[in-house]
Structure 1
């Protein structure tokens, strides 16, 4: 693994930022995190509550911009790096670990500045409204995927009802996506799983029910946020993933993948059908 190198100025700024106290003028929200057992950079949390008309889903994202102003060494460093890169063993973080794995990580019981995406869900899992607001989260519980799955299967445990509710609404969100012909976050036979990007996944966590919860909630939040920005004509970069002209319709694509049964055959078929994902200022869509 190649460790990301940061400038002296960026390291100095990171140390200064790490000593700052959390903002106290934000809306307080509830949430839990579910990640891999060794994950330290916990950057998203979830919460779900039933309503008279369906449910309210909240996805909380660590609000890095609260601590890192524009045009500063850390800002320039993040722009140059673009993302945290995950390897089979460890990662190369976009920001110094003192921030990504501590001050900005949504650690259990620690107040953190977050950006909340609140989705109003109808009983069928369709999104009827989306709100986006600045918030403050003290994560109520840090789950690993296996631990969350155990709680889902154990009615006597404290967090069973919360996680079971999340699982039920994740299933409804999945049904909504499948009805549109989406192929991402779907299983095609034993040990064949296509992630939300439309690629065969080698993620060992994909087998967990709780991983599917996080995946569905993040897809829903990303989709709603993209539509929210487009509806308001706000400047943004959208990640669009389109199918090639030779690709069949979505229903035909799903049926073809179901009968292939081979990871190699599925990978080749997907490569023949899908264009490379691209970023652009117009919302086109994400086929997977």
Structure 2
């Protein structure tokens, strides 16, 4: 068993700033499809203090995530729950159907946030956001979001959605800082959310991050997550084991100084880990 958070760590973590009601550290669930591991991991995370859980139709695990929420002692209304509609299902009728299926699979009445997973294939800003706006009106989701959008697509989404775009989820970490995407996101008052915030593990052993981590006697993961938090970006690192969940959670108590933040800001690396052919940056 891993070391559990101390009382001081939990208190610090529970005082974490929140972005418009969305906790700034969440649990990502991509690739968590094991019928025994996934519900237990979600239950463990919630017991540890996490209150933001992120999943997607494309992950094929919404029923397992829902089971984990039900197994925990945390009330559903205290959990910020987000899911996404896959690129093939973003036509008006398909998006409506998939969103209803998502809440059914999760075993909830509604989700807190529903994302457009990718602006590709069936995505059409007019029809997609007509569906998403209707889903807000129906009470299927409280908020709508976008994922993997480039700056010009953010602009189009804002123009076509009647309801505010609440969040934009995209790959972001010290090795892919996405300055232009972050700037465009924040210009519209949209909350930035980072997936793969640990660069699929490549933050470990990185010279700059390791030096900072060594000075604080913490992991590079904590440094990366703390940097994102200090830059106003919500992070949703994937983890299933208790030790990794705890290490990520403990990042909330790490404060980086201005020099350390600047050193990370100055990294001139563009190491994208999620790069499908249909990604808008490849079009």
Q: When the two structures are superposed, what TM-score results if normalisation uses the length of structure 2?
A: 0.24
Which has more helix, going by share of residues? 2
Which structure's CA Rg is the greater one?
Answer: 1
TM-score (normalizing by structure 1): 0.24
